[in-house]
Amino acid sequence: MKAVSYIQQSIKQLDLFSIPFFFNIFNNENKRKTIFGGAVSLIVICISIIYFSYLCYLYFQNQINPTISQISQYYDQNYSIQLQNNILAFQIILPSGKTLQQLEQETGLQYLNVLPFYVAQGQKKQLLSFIQCKDSSINNFLCLDFSSVSNSQSILDFNYDKDTQAKYKIELQFILCNNQFLLPTQKCATYQQIRQEVIKIETQAIMIIQTQKYDPSKKRFEINKKSEIFGFSEGNSIFTQVKLQKGSTTINQGFVLQYESRSEYLSDYTIFLQYIPSTFVQQEINLDLIGSVQIFLSDVGMSQQVQFPPFTSLLAQFSSVFNVLVVIGIICQFWAQNELVQDFVEVQLKSYFKHTAFHFIQSQNTQKFRIKDSSFVKHLTQLYNQIQGIQYQQYADKYSKLGFFNRVKLLIFSRFNQKIKKQDNKEIKIFKALYSETQKQMSILELQKELMQIKIILRLLISAEQYAAIKLCGYSVFIEKNSDEQIEKIQQPQKDFDKQQEQQEQILSIINYDNMNIQECQDVKQLQQKDQSQDKNSQRFDIDLSPKEVLNNLDENKTFKGQSGIINNGLSAQKSQMRSHNHKSQICEFKDFTSEKDKNFQITNLLHSSICDNTNHLDIIDQIDKDSNIFEQYLQIFFDKRNKGSHSDFEERIFRCMIGVNQNMKQVDKENKNYNKTNSRAN
């Protein structure tokens, strides 16, 4: 059972939906938590933790796709791009599977002249050369050597002119072998040989174009290589135009603070084919041109924006899901509030509506409530314990006959209509009345109003000096070791008080007898000055308390004379003892001190009356809280009143609960005990 109770309390502590039942009273914070709210909160917390862990896993594994926006861009300004030689690769594959270079090496004859040029309009064509591609994936292909037109063999600043699209281009010409393009050691094959080996349908002129594309999952650019295949015809010349498209990608990434990076590259291309009769071409350029490939930059490109989500966006995504779960929990507050109201109604039944609780218990079993005269007090004690052990759930199920969902329905609709209808049955009327009263008690405004009223009532019921003394009252925290010891501690102050009263009565009876012999005190003082050793060992009363009580009751000696025959019979025996040297010296000191203390008490009373002239009682209480001097003055009034013996039982209880007075009480009791021992020895 302890484990179950501990689990229930732990679940209650997880209640996140008790915020609507949260209120402040000055610096004290109170929350009302329920098991149902804790269970819903536990579900919300578990789902939230699992979902947040899942999002973190996706984030750190780069599995959350970034936001990508991509648009086509038209360039109306000049631009340039660095063109690497491995972007373009060429090769001619013959029907036999051999490359053109391999055939020429085997036969020692030249079949085609493949001439690469860099063309800038208005300038002379610049002849480029081929080199073996360094990329291992295309090492059988030929790449361009830019060293003749650039500072680097592998990089060329390729320009675009907005006015003339093909002003800057790279052109490859495929010409039937012509001696003017050969070295002296080289020899051309005949047309029949060329026609038989090269100009065939199966012959393929392959051009590999390398483009790039950003892969957000890997956070890097991926290289794509596309192959374009051309053929040769005997009667036509094939002109191919390749428009390279520039792409630019802007990447924003970072955990919290993001940085931006921008890259430019060849993203794509377009190809246009044109067939022109070979005779027309030969007449125009005076060359047997069977094919031509022109490569230049396009006026259309692509712009891409990649936004990787920061961790804060992950939190935002988690917050949206968490808010949905919280909304579900808020909807479930109606059930939690039902449990909450039941707890408050249970408190109301146990502490306020006890007659209703008694009626419920009585209706359950009438036989138990037949009161026997001999056990009436015991019966009431059992009845009180039964009321304190009542459970509202049992009350609602057995007495009100209202199920859980019916109570929830009444709670919801009672928000809009709290009036008790005539057609409602008795159980519903009682439930609505209890709910209405409970709502008032749960309202912070009503609670504050009642607290202020109680505060005013309590301050009006006590005097100013009592209020000042109560500010020093308190009790000690102790561990309950033994119930018998605890009862003895509770009864001990009353025993001490009764014992002190008895001792004071004995002292007063003695002093009443000596009231007629006050004049002898002067002679005793002279004897006391001669006997210094006895004066050092003499016993004195507590000047602050006991002498005052004794002397203030001197006026009531007539009453004491008629109260006890025992005291009157012992006057002769006590007379000789009281005339002893030490005791009479103490009585004389009492008289001298009393006159001075009475004057101080009169001054204090005058001060008290001057404070109370033009202010009401609540203002005086407020001044005691704010002004330490006034607090001290009224505290002195409380002690002076007690020393005069005009205090009430309530003030005596206040005195015994005050801090710092227990030691003084013990000292008074000790002196009285020593004094009684001295009297008994003398007798």
**Each residue of 623-636: pLDDT tens digit?**
999 999 999 999 99
- Secondary structure of 501-550 in the HEC alphabet? HHHHHHHHHHHHHHHHHHHHHHHHHHHHHHCHHHHHHCCCCCCCCHHHHH
What does pLDDT average to over the chain? 75
Residue 476 lies in a domain: no
CA dist 591 and 648 (Å) reads: 26
What pLDDT sits at residue 507? 59
Q: Which of 457, 491, 513 is the last residue of a domain?
A: 457
Which residue range(s) make up the domain with 429?
333-457
CA 401 to the chain's CA centroid: 41
- pLDDT level of residue 314 (50, 70, 90 thresholds): confident
300 and 345, same domain (yes or no):
no
Q: How many separate domains does the chain show?
A: 4
* Cα–Cα nearest to 175, from 198, 149, 196: 198
Residue 121 lies in a domain: yes
Residue 472 lies in a domain: no
What pLDDT sits at residue 350? 83
112-158 pLDDT, tens digit per residue, is 999 999 998 878 889 999 999 988 888 889 999 999 888 888 898 99
93 and 236, same domain (yes or no):
yes
CA-to-CA dists, residue 199 to 9, 191, 351, angstroms: 92, 10, 112
609 and 654, same domain (yes or no):
yes
422 and 327, same domain (yes or no):
no
Residue 11 lies in a domain: yes
CB crowding 381-415: b at 16 or more within 10 Å, else e: eebeeebeebebeebbeebbebeeeebbebbeebe
Residue 466 lies in a domain: no
Least confident of 164-173, 552-561, 631-640: 552-561
- pLDDT level of residue 52 (50, 70, 90 thresholds): very high
147 and 95, same domain (yes or no):
yes
322 and 364, same domain (yes or no):
no
- Single-letter amino acid, residue 296: F
338 and 398, same domain (yes or no):
yes
Q: Left if phi > 0, otherwise alpha if psi is -120 to 50, otherwise beta: which for 645?
A: left
Q: Any bridge partners for residue 261, and if so which?
A: 251
485-518 pLDDT, tens digit per residue, is 555 555 555 566 566 666 666 655 555 545 555 4
294 and 358, same domain (yes or no):
no
- pLDDT level of residue 595 (50, 70, 90 thresholds): very low
Residue 381 lies in a domain: yes
190: CB partners within 8 A, 6+ apart = none
264 and 212, same domain (yes or no):
yes
Residue 467 lies in a domain: no
352 and 296, same domain (yes or no):
no
What pLDDT sits at residue 590? 38
Phi, psi angle pair for 627, to nearest 5°: -110, 120
187 and 298, same domain (yes or no):
yes
80 and 9, same domain (yes or no):
no
Residue 473 lies in a domain: no
56-104 pLDDT, tens digit per residue, is 999 888 888 888 999 988 888 899 998 888 899 999 999 988 999 999 9
